[in-house]
Amino acid sequence: MKLNGLTAVITGGTQGVGAAIAISLAKAGANLILHGLREDPMALDTIRQCQELGVQVTPIYCDLWQPLDKIVTEIGDRSIEIDSEVSLLVNNAGVFIDKPFIDMDETTFDRTFDLNVKVGYFLTQYFAKRWIQTKTPGRVLFTASINGLLAESDHTAYDASKAAVSSMVRSLCVALAPKGIRVNAIAPGLVRTPLTNQVLDRDPGALRWMQLHTPNHQVPEASVCGPIAAFLLSDDAEHIHGQTIYIDGGMSVWQQPDLPEKLRTGMLQD
């Protein structure tokens, strides 16, 4: 998985899954344009780790909830300023701000789809136009989610947006593969990030419950997502197009977990 001399744009690349992808791409030799919301300790730590691997890192901080043309122009202009042409795009930035379905409002729904779906769609269009013009074999990776396949009751907008990402990857594959551009996605299950740690560390029961629902009984660090991302962006994956790869310990294939002995005994007694 060699990416030496290539340059990647990663949205939401300063923490969580995005940081894991950034570090793995840096290990493979790619220079990085890392987008983050703000310059904070986590962003600076991710940048430091990548630079220590000997690659160039260009940070860009902006809120993706802006007029779309401004976002695309800001990230696109920064990518033009660096020495090497961007040939890798990772649409990782996303948000979960759901309310229960009965309480969902149009603004929250729109903000979810804007960030989880629309920004990545039009960033891909921006770079695809450049790649087609320059005959660059571009590679695009989206971060989908197991929630695009398995539903949760209070995640209706988020689940729908992540399902849209996997569908979009298939459609963009059909549109762009003839142009020499590959499009794929990773779909993490539950992994440890600064956001999920707030819940898992506060509620050990929630952690045990998620481990029970995962065949390998693990809730790993986000770092498990990085190597698969690097593989899908590398020449080693040259014939993989339009796929969503689940990184979930088997959760997406398990109908339901085996009933714990304590619960099984209780049910038999009832």
The token duo for 226 is: 């990085």
Residue 63: count of CB within 10 angstroms of its CB:
9
DSSP run (H or E) holding 245: strand 244-247
Half-sphere exposure of 192 (CA within 13 A, CB side): 10
Decide if 168 contacts 121 (C-beta within 8 A).
yes
Give me the helix-helix angle, 119-134 and 156-176, nearest 10°: 10
**Could you write out the DSSP letters of every residue in 76-144?**
HHHHHHSSS-EEEEEE---------GGG--HHHHHHHHIIIIIHHHHHHHHHHHHHHHHT---EEEEE-
Residues tagged active-site = 158
